[in-house]
Amino acid sequence: MGGGKIKPGTESPPNRFGVYIAEIEVNGVLKESPSTFFQKHWDRTKVMEAIHEAFNNKRHRHGNVYSGKTSEGMEIRFVLINDKIITVYPKY
């Protein structure tokens, strides 16, 4: 769903929710920090359902950062500006 690609050989083993970490290259430039990803077999609909579920029970963490959980217990973090989601990612 993003604009980059995973750098080969950088994927972590998935956690109990299937979430994994990897390094990302965008336009050939490596991002400064690794990114987290939802389960590989999830389609866009499943990811959006999980985001919606976690968003509906989100709690403020600090600054513009919020987190919520799915019914399975997966934590999803949100960065909001003016009540709009700027960034969303699963916690590894």
End-to-end Cα distance, the chain:
18
pLDDT of residue 1: 52
Model confidence over 41-72: pLDDT tens digits?
999 999 999 999 999 999 999 999 999 999 99
Q: Which residues contact 59 (CB under 8 A, 6 or more apart)?
A: 66, 67, 68
- The tally of domains found in the chain comes to 1
**Is it the case that residue 3 has pLDDT exceeding 80?**
no
Whole-angstrom Cα distance, residue 10 to residue 14?
Answer: 12
CB 76 within 8 A of CB 89: yes
Q: Which domain holds residue 39?
A: 5-90
Does the pTM surpass 0.75? The reply is: yes
Model confidence over 25-43: pLDDT tens digits?
998 899 999 999 999 999 9
